[in-house]
Structure 1
Amino acid sequence: MTVTSQARKKNLYKKATKRTDNNVYAAIDLGTNNCRLLVARSSRKNFRVLDTFSRIVRLGEGLSQTGNLSEEAMRRTLSALKICTSKLKRRGVTKLRCVATEACRRAANGDDFIKRVKKETGLDLEIIDNSEEASLAIMGCAPLLDPDLPEALIFDIGGGSTEVSWIRQDSKESSSDTTPETASKSGMPKPIVPNPIMEDWYSVSKGVVTLAEKYGGRDISSETYEQMVQEIYDDFLIFEQKHGFAQRVRDGKLQLLGTSGTVTTLVGVYKKLPRYDRNRVDGTLINCDTAIGLCHKIAGMTYAQRVANPCIGSQRADLVVAGCAIFEALAKLWPVAQLRVADRGLREGILYKLINED
């Protein structure tokens, strides 16, 4: 199922406040595959991370076949959310927002699960639509954008959906000399300038979980891999034909930024990290041809080889090839020279919004 694009053309956030406050902010992002928590305090134009948590829960496992969240998947997710609750209490969180995305949007028993979460954990989960999900992801990732390129496509490869957002930057000025690289090394996002304006977005209800369930995730032939690439390419070709982004790429006016476990895994494999390290991944620029070559290398691995790779492991071994296929399809549609990779997104966008509301 394809969600039609909608023009938004709006400032996604105001400039962050310079005032610090005593609130402790937290964001929970419950997706089709992952449950993530971020706890932080506001600081000058930014926030300081106090605690994080991430666990692969596979909430959407089997959803494409049954239309419902399974009991086992819900139990796994509730276990992770209970850990989040204990962290919230320990950190003295004063302002919190918890969001759920594609799995709960699609599941016939999604609303029932939200009520169960409230009963068993006390958390108020809010199911957000694709548009708000895209907007929040942009808010979280925008500090990594190159201010010298006026336009960007930001893609988010999720477990049950993939979103691509087209944004313009309304200013090239910045009140900070922080670069994406130094922001990444410090573990802090760059100040929220220039402001991104979302012009349009496009979403398809296909992500790493849904694609792996359709085509398989363990033993994948080269022919099957190419089928996955072509399917996603065809899905997003509509968005390309509407706006002509490929010409902007040729004119050197458009950059590509990716946020998801797929692209961060690619960087981890590329850098041959002994274990995944966010500080060495977030903000990385990687040549797109190199990234596509890595996709083919991973797709050619056996399942056991993927499990043995420290940046893939057993939890992603059956999903990463589907993610590689999605990325390659997008990279073929919009063949930029380099890809900026973000290990941030929805959670950071929620925090920026909570802080700016104060």
Structure 2
Amino acid sequence: MPSTGRWAHTYAALDLGTHNCRLLVARPTAGSFRVIDSFSRVVRLGEGVGQTGRLSEAAQLRAIKTLGACAAKMKKRGVDRFRAIATQACRLATNQQQFLDRVLDETGLLLEVIDPVEEARLAISGCVPLLNRRDDYALIFDIGGGSTQVIFLDAKAEIPSIIDSLSIPYGVVTLGEKIGPGELGQQAYDQWVMSVADAFSDFCKRNDISDRIEQGRVQMVGTSGTVTTLSGIHQALPRYNRADVDGSRLSFEAAQAISDRLRQMPLDERIKHPCIGRDRADLVLAGCIIFSAICKCWPVGSLSVADRGIREGILQDLMFEADRESRKKYHGQ
């Protein structure tokens, strides 16, 4: 392979979310990339930020320790092009800058807080390969820790383009702190679903999404721990396996049946479930509520499940930029 453009570098994408910190390290292949290292750890950076407006000392320490581990992996793999981003928890925190300065001082990583529009763009970039180009439109959603992103896009365009996007302040951490970790009665569950659904109402109306769904012109892609967990449970996997989940199909009917089971399941049983585990057990109900609200607002009937998103979008951006720089240098610009 040539040693110019994208081929001259090793890349990394780091996503520090409200709940998780995730890293991908990759090298280019023909038309894509090959992941050579990955890392994911629960950090719960946004724990309590909805109540206090600040990142707690304990949460900062967890995140910085994990970011330090990511920096060490990047150094070991010879990464020379990377982007490290943070999302909702840092957007909300009044002590955001103090945390960013601390990260830079202690890990050497320059962390960039991105806005919801950029978050949506990156998520789309990572999920485009899962789109069915026979449908005119697509709804892509990402249920995060501190917020949920919904993107409505033109799926027929040569390069799928965003028509509109929305970020609502409901995520598995922020909502999970409100509903608690225990079982949830049907009435309480339904009330929370209605509250979340109300946040989608104006977005739905201004884009005529309901009419387009009735015409059979809209597909859906979900990228989040919630939908990947539901897919794993639906497939009765003995343990979570990305290869079985990414790109799988999940019907709303199956997802609702699983959500009903989880709603009535004690916390200790959720902890023992091989596709949930201790890290997700107290948050999975909040994710189910948000997903149920999405299904209620936009009854497409089924969706493609994506175990991909922002990090893959970052990697693609970095490689495109390396190619662009190489072309400019070649043409003497």
Q: TM-score range by the shorter chain?
A: over 0.9
Query: Which residue of structure 1 aligns with residue 269 of structure 2?
Result: 305
Count of aligned residue pairs for this structure pair: 319
Q: 1:125 and 1:20 mapped to 2: Cα distance?
A: 23
The yes-or-no answer on 1:355 pairing with 2:319 is: yes
The yes-or-no answer on 1:260 pairing with 2:246 is: no
Where structure 2 has 5 or more consecutive residues not aligned to the other structure, the ranges are 323-333
- Correspondent of 1:58 among 32, 44, 47: 44
**Greater per-residue helix proportion:** 2
Task: Output the amino acid matched with 1:252.
Answer: G
Task: Output the amino acid matched with 2:92.
Answer: R
Deviation at 1:151, TM superposition (A): 0.7
Deviation at 1:223, TM superposition (A): 2.2
The yes-or-no answer on 1:113 pairing with 2:77 is: no
Distance change (3 Å), C-alpha of 1:226 and 1:247: same
Q: If the length of structure 2 is used for normalisation, what is the TM-score?
A: 0.93
Task: Output the amino acid matched with 1:90.
Answer: K
Query: Which deviations, in whole Å up to 9, do the C-alpha atoms of 1:234-266 show, x marking residues without a partner?
Result: 110111111121221111110011000000000
Deviation at 1:222, TM superposition (A): 2.1
Q: 1:357 and 1:238 mapped to 2: Cα distance?
A: 36
Q: 2:217 and 2:273 mapped to 1: Cα distance?
A: 36
**8 Å contact from structure 2 (residues 183, 263) kept in 1:** no
Q: Spell out the pairing of 1:10-159 with structure 2 (5 A cutoff).
A: 21-159=7-145
**8 Å contact from structure 2 (residues 131, 155) kept in 1:** no
**8 Å contact from structure 2 (residues 135, 156) kept in 1:** no
Q: 2:269 and 2:251 mapped to 1: Cα distance?
A: 24
Q: 1:217 and 1:111 mapped to 2: Cα distance?
A: 31
Q: 2:183 and 2:48 mapped to 1: Cα distance?
A: 19
Q: 2:5 and 2:97 mapped to 1: Cα distance?
A: 38
Q: 1:101 and 1:64 mapped to 2: Cα distance?
A: 14
Q: 1:289 and 1:251 mapped to 2: Cα distance?
A: 20
4+ residue stretches of structure 1 with deviation over 4 A? none
Q: Identity of aligned pairs, percent?
A: 50
Q: 2:144 and 2:191 mapped to 1: Cα distance?
A: 19
Q: 1:65 and 1:314 mapped to 2: Cα distance?
A: 24
- Correspondent of 1:276 among 240, 248, 255: 240
**8 Å contact from structure 1 (residues 218, 317) kept in 2:** no
Deviation at 1:297, TM superposition (A): 1.3
Q: CA RMSD in A?
A: 1.3
The yes-or-no answer on 1:251 pairing with 2:215 is: yes
Query: Which deviations, in whole Å up to 9, do the C-alpha atoms of 1:70-117 show, x marking residues without a partner?
Result: 111111111111110111011000101000000000001111101100
Task: Output the amino acid matched with 1:97.
Answer: R
Task: Output the amino acid matched with 1:65.
Answer: Q
Task: Output the amino acid matched with 1:62.
Answer: G
**8 Å contact from structure 1 (residues 22, 41) kept in 2:** no
Q: If the length of structure 1 is used for normalisation, what is the TM-score?
A: 0.87
